[in-house]
Amino acid sequence: MKKHQIVYLTLIIVYVTMASCTKKEAQEIKPDVPVVPITPDVKVTYANFAEGLFQSKCSSCHASGKSDAGFFTLNGYTSIKANAERIKQAVIVSKRMPKVGSLSATDLKSLSTWFDNGMPEN
């Protein structure tokens, strides 16, 4: 096989691989834990808010073996707490994440409150 044929074949494989996961498929992933809207009188915790948010908005890319696991692997409360500054910077400050979809103003406010209150688990 000639060198230009190998390059051409490689480009086709890369394109097919990248196109195999559509935005629609990524949005169809259902969270294991529902995201519950937080009202002003409810204390924001990992259990009642953040866990569901991370499952629904982050796990499609940041779970073990997924495309962005090298940057941050979502593996429960401990991994989120250990990467809190990186997550806060990407989600709240620069709003670079999530790559697929977005967070509502209420979700951003609740997540910010959770970080500001020391990321309580329960």
Residue 92 in any domain: the answer is: yes
Residue 37 in any domain: the answer is: yes
What pLDDT digit, counting tens, does each position of 38-92 carry? 666 789 999 999 999 988 888 888 877 766 666 777 888 998 999 899 999 999 9
Residue 122 in any domain: the answer is: no
* Domain range for 79: 22-116
> Which pTM was predicted?
0.64
Is-cis flag, bond preceding 98, omega within 30? yes
* CA angle 113–66–32, rounded 5-degree value: 55
What percentage of the chain has pLDDT greater than the value 90? 35
C-beta separation of 38 from 48 below 8 A: yes
Average pLDDT, the chain: 78
Domain count, the chain: 1
Residue 84 in any domain: the answer is: yes
Q: What is the pLDDT of residue 40?
A: 67
Which tokens in the block code for residue 86? 């990186």
Q: What is the pLDDT of residue 52?
A: 92
Residue 101 — very low, low, confident or very high, per pLDDT cuts 50/70/90? confident
Query: In the predicted model, what is the mean pLDDT of residues 14-41?
Result: 52
Residue 39 in any domain: the answer is: yes
Query: In the predicted model, what is the mean pLDDT of residues 18-47?
Result: 60
Residue 73 in any domain: the answer is: yes
User: Would you call 25 exposed, middle or buried from its count of C-beta atoms within 10 A (0-12, 13-18, 19+)?
Assistant: exposed
Residue 9 in any domain: the answer is: no
